[in-house]
Amino acid sequence: MEENQSVMDVRVAVSSPKLRKRLFFRRKEVWTLSPLGWLTATGLLLAMGLVCFFGVHPFLAVTQRAPSASVLVVEGWIPDYALVEGWKEFQRGHYRLLLVTGVRGRDGAGMDDNDTYAGWGAERLQKLVGQHKEIIPVPAFEAPRDRTYTSAAALGAWLARHHDPATAINVVTMTAHSRRSRLMFEKALGPRIDVGVIAVTNKDYDSSHWWRYSEGVKEVLSEGAAYVYARLFFYP
């Protein structure tokens, strides 16, 4: 009898709204933002967004030379005016070699199926500035993906085969591609070779107002995504 009474008391207690609240809920004090706090947080987020927006192109299009570089590397896929800028850099600096890198071409004008951007770029550069023995193509024939890394790995193999004593190089490439190029060359060559990079300004758009040009938007978005991939997800 007493046991039945106890069961009934429990049922009655559980059916009480106040007791159910105590069993399943707990009252807790929570701090939240005031209107001024929300305004401040929104302003900070907006400011950070603007800094990222206007700073992304200068971040990607970095120029930072390796002072002791004795070898200049030019990526062969860049346009003629950029190749000429590479030649001017070669003449200004204390370089002994100008190496043109690149993988097998995809759809380059005037390129055969077996041509590489290394050979194509070296040939174009020699036509633009004259025949010079310092201009040497360093081709990479296999590149199913990660073409910049493959080009850099071929360069490392070439330096090893020729017992070249280079401890620092500078890489000439295009604007927003430059930071990723340096990263890939660093991954391919390792810590024994210091890698500098020189970004040639893209004449297809005004880099200071890149968002006003379709070419600028396309380049910044694609190179920004590619750099994130190379930094976070790519492993040699």
The dihedral formed by the CA atoms of 41, 46, 50 and 52, expressed in degrees to the nearest 10: 60
pLDDT at 150 over 90: yes
Considering the chain, what is the average pLDDT of its residues? Answer: 87
pTM for the structure as a whole: 0.81
Quote the CA–CA distance of 78 and 234 in Å, as a whole number.
Answer: 23
Predicted confidence (pLDDT) per residue in 174-215, tens digit: 999 999 999 999 999 999 999 999 999 999 999 999 999 999
pLDDT score of 21: 59
Residue bearing the bigger pLDDT, 31 or 64: 64
Q: Is 59 left (phi over 0), alpha (psi -120 to 50) or beta?
A: alpha
Q: Which CATH superfamily does the domain covering 60-232 fall into?
A: HUPs (3.40.50.620)
Higher pLDDT, 24 or 58: 58
d(CA 232, CA 200): 26
Distance CA(45)–CA(39), nearest Å, equals 10
Task: Report the SS3 class of residue 131.
Answer: coil
In whole angstroms, what is the distance from residue 235 CA to residue 219 CA?
A: 23
Alpha helices for the chain (secondary structure H):
2-14, 17-24, 35-60, 80-92, 117-129, 147-161, 178-189, 214-232
Q: Which helix (H) or strand (E) holds 205?
A: none
Q: Is 236 in a helix, a strand, or coil?
A: coil
**Residue 119 pLDDT:** 93
Asked if the model's pLDDT at residue 75 lies above 80, the reply is: yes
CA nearest to 183, candidates 72, 99, 59, 83? 59
Task: Kindly report the number of other CB atoms within 10 A of residue 172's CB atom.
Answer: 27
State how far the Cα of 94 lies from the Cα of 73, in Å rounded to an integer. Answer: 13
pLDDT number for residue 25: 67
Q: Is the pLDDT score of 3 beyond 60?
A: no
pLDDT of residue 29 exceeding 90:
no
Q: Rg for the chain (alpha carbons), in Å?
A: 30
More confident residue, 118 or 47: 118
Q: For position 142, what pLDDT does the model report? A: 74
Of residues 108 and 27, more confidently modeled: 27
User: Please, is 63 exposed, middle or buried when counting C-beta atoms within 10 Å of its C-beta (0-12, 13-18, 19+)?
Assistant: middle
